[in-house]
Amino acid sequence: MLSYRHAFHAGNFADVFKHILLLQLLHSLRRKDKPFCVFDTHAGAGRYDLHALAAARNREFAAGIGALWPAPVLGAELSDYRDQVRALNPDGALRYYPGSPWLSRALLRPGDRLLLTELHPGDYPLLKATFAGDRQVAVHHADGYASLKAFLPPPERRGLVFLDPAFERRDEFERLRAAVQTIHQRWPGGIVALWYPILERIPSQRWQRQLQELGIPAILCAELGLQPYDAPRGLHGTGMVIINPPWQFDQMLGRLLPELLERLGGGVHGQTRLDWLVPAP
Ligand SMILES: C[S@@+](CC[C@H](N)C(=O)[O-])C[C@H]1O[C@@H](n2cnc3c(N)ncnc32)[C@H](O)[C@@H]1O
């Protein structure tokens, strides 16, 4: 039973974090001429109207993209991200927010491809309509985990698998771990980005220890925390694990994370983390 709808959370601080990192991964793929493929396993609706009832309910975007929107000056990565959101809002008022498929599509070059899977019966038709007639984007009403074997490795042999699950299920970390094994067996050279929430500290730490035991080299972990991790239930922070990160991605994150924390108002409880779970060879 799928009840999560990303429309309620679009543009919140976790989206800002994940989408800036996604854009930086895409920019790194564009540095070489050879075509690449992006597989976004949990695609959502593609783009979101922040004036719609869902987003307006809790206005989560106000503390996310809303906090960056009016800033007079931003560092390079934040500015690049905001430019992508601005491109969807040409009249200058923040109304539409790009989901990960929209951002990936914006950075495809003519020979590149985007594969999308989305399982929700409400979000899939929205996603399908967003990319109707676009020959570089394939949209599937399918389980992203179950589709890994069908779609990997891509013929391009260059690219990214972006896994951004809803964490509605208690076994989501387990499913991500299994997905990492499948992806690595089929496509050891692919970049893999796994988003996760920090609700309680222990499950994500346990999962990261399990990833360290898989025998996979080059696993980087970045986190942004806004609330104390031992606070009562809620989204206290967010993280991303990146397997095969691009050259010097850690250095870029070392600059970006403190700026992001400051911009999003981390306050006394704010914290960032940047660690190699397994070093690059
Ligand atoms: C966090 S949202 C994705 C947001 C999107 N990646 C973005 O950044 O704009 C997670 C999405 O995964 C979908 N979903 C849940 N389980 C899935 C599965 N097994 N396969 C594919 N999609 C799934 C949900 O319906 C939801 O739309």
pLDDT for 206: 96
Spell out the residues 6+ positions from residue 170 whose beta carbon is closer than 8 angstroms to its own. Answer: none
Residue pLDDT, tens place only, 143-172? 999 999 999 999 999 999 999 999 999 999
Dig out the tokens for 104 from the structure: 């990936």
> How far is CA 221 from its chain centroid?
13
Question: Ligand 1 centroid vs 147 CA: distance in angstroms?
Answer: 13
- Nearest to 17, CA basis, from 263, 214, 279, 200: 263
Spell out the residues 6+ positions from residue 261 whose beta carbon is closer than 8 angstroms to its own. Answer: 224, 226, 270, 271, 272
Residue with the smallest CA separation from ligand 1 atom 27 is 44
Residue pLDDT, tens place only, 208-254? 999 999 999 999 999 999 988 777 778 889 999 999 999 999 999 99
pLDDT for 183: 98
* Tokens 């990960």 -> residue: 100
pLDDT for 269: 85
- pTM score of the predicted model: 0.98
In ligand 1, which atom is closest to the CA atom of 147?
Answer: 20
164 is catalytic: yes
In ligand 1, which atom is closest to the CA atom of 18?
Answer: 8
Low-confidence spans in the chain with pLDDT less than 70: none
Which candidate in 40, 112, 123, 164 is catalytic? Answer: 164
Dig out the tokens for 267 from the structure: 């306050």
Structural domains in the chain? 6-278 (3.40.50.150)
pLDDT for 208: 97
